[in-house]
Amino acid sequence: MSNLEREPAERTVCDGPVATAAAPAAEVLEPREVPLGGPRAMPVRRSLPNRYRRMVGAWCFADAYGPTDLTAREGMRVPPHPHIGLQTVSWLVRGEILHRDSLGNEQYVRPGELNLMTAGRGIAHSEETPQEHTPILHGAQLWVALPDAHRDGPPGFAHHADLPRLPVPGGEVTVLLGRVGDAESPARAYTPIMGAEVALTDAVRMPLDPAYEHAVLALDAPLTVDGATVTSGAMLYLGRDRAGVRIDGPGRALVIGGEPFEEPLVMWWNLVARTHEEIVEARTAWEDDPGSRFGEVHGYNGARLHAPTLPNAELKARPRYRPH
Ligand code: MN
């Protein structure tokens, strides 16, 4: 997934724990619809960063898409583009996506399996609907900010097809990152964090770690979360100090959470950094000599993506949260 907006409207900067809810909250984060690629491309519903809240734990970006019938339209087609300072979490409910990266990985993402790419100092990848594909595409991609100690580390990629699944009354929980109860994901994370899919046939009481802040992202039909209606692609922010949350299905949701991420974050296009200068440096490397820092993606049929023009103003820290 890539942020393909030619002129990313928001200068997205997250700055410390200033406004992290220290108590339970129930705040609906409505998504905005963003086209992924050209005019015929697939629209995605982006709930993070949100106008009012930019992060949940270290989660700093959330796109949900579909279910989309691909018999009448082009599927996903995201040419090679760079990332720094983050992990991408790719998750499908239906369909398939082919990932290729500059480390030489070529990997399908399929429902119930996790593709976890760690950008570190720099990686490039492409994501596309393969030639041979099933008709319906439905999924999400989220980004996790890497902490200072790891953001300049080497890039990596992992595919997890055997995530822990936890039957619960009213549904089933699959643990993508971190732990839920006694079930722990084998996927590597770099901050105290969790992410899980909940497939609901009925109402589920999802256990939560009170030390984390959490949010619930609805992946399909409107869900009722803690009594609030959350439409497909929207998120309900829950704050901290909760031992659990009730989600009423049927449907599917992603529950994300983590310790509030306290490092100031500058996020622009597909790059997560700490300063304006770091963004400029990464953008210049991608435009002038991509191989030196990001490597090369082989096998994608088409040209790489170019970075948008930087805004005139310097990218500066802004609060993680601002009141409505
Ligand atoms: Mn991407």
Do the beta carbons of residue 56 and residue 65 sit within 8 Å? Answer: no
Q: Which of 127, 137, 131, 170 is nearest to 270 (CA)?
A: 127
Q: Quick: pLDDT tens for 139-173.
A: 999 999 999 999 999 999 999 999 999 999 999 99
Mean pLDDT score, 91-97: 98
| Residue 14 CA, ligand 1 centroid: distance in Å | 20
| 227 C-alpha to ligand 1 centroid (Å) | 34
Please, are residues 279 and 54 in contact by the beta-carbon 8 Å criterion? Answer: no
Taking 50 as the threshold, does the pLDDT of residue 16 lie above it?
A: no
Closest by alpha carbon to 49, among 60, 37, 33, 64?
60
The answer to whether residues 82 and 288 touch, using CB atoms and an 8 Å cutoff, is no
Question: Which is more confidently placed, 6 or 161?
Answer: 161
**How many A from CA of 165 to the centre of ligand 1?**
27
Domain assignments of the chain as residue spans, ordered by start: 12-258
CA of 236 to the centre of ligand 1 (A): 25
> Residue 194 C-alpha to ligand 1 middle, in angstroms?
21
Residue 279 — φ and ψ, nearest 5°?
A: -65, -45
Angle at 111 between CA 107 and CA 116, to 5 degrees: 45
How far apart are alpha carbons 56 and 214 in whole angstroms? 6
CA of 315 to the centre of ligand 1 (A): 21
DSSP state of 306: P
- With a cut of 70, say whether residue 288 has pLDDT above it: yes
- Distance from Cα 118 to the centre of ligand 1, integer Å: 11
Which of 241-250, 260-269, 308-317 shows the lowest mean pLDDT across its residues? 308-317
CA of 306 relative to ligand 1 center, distance in Å: 13
Q: Ligand 1 center to residue 140 CA distance, Å?
A: 12
What's the gap in Å between 37 CA and the centre of ligand 1? 12
- pTM of the predicted model as reported, rounded to 2 decimal places: 0.93
Q: In terms of DSSP H, where are the helices of the chain?
A: 148-151, 276-288, 290-294
271 CA from centroid of ligand 1 (Å) = 10
pLDDT of residue 7: 47
4 vs 207, residue with greater confidence:
207
Give residue 303 CA to ligand 1 midpoint distance, Å: 15
Domain 12-258: homologous superfamily in CATH: Jelly Rolls (2.60.120.10)
Cβ atoms of 155 and 118 closer than 8 Å:
yes
CA atoms of 210 and 109, how far apart (whole Å) = 32
More confident residue, 52 or 155: 155
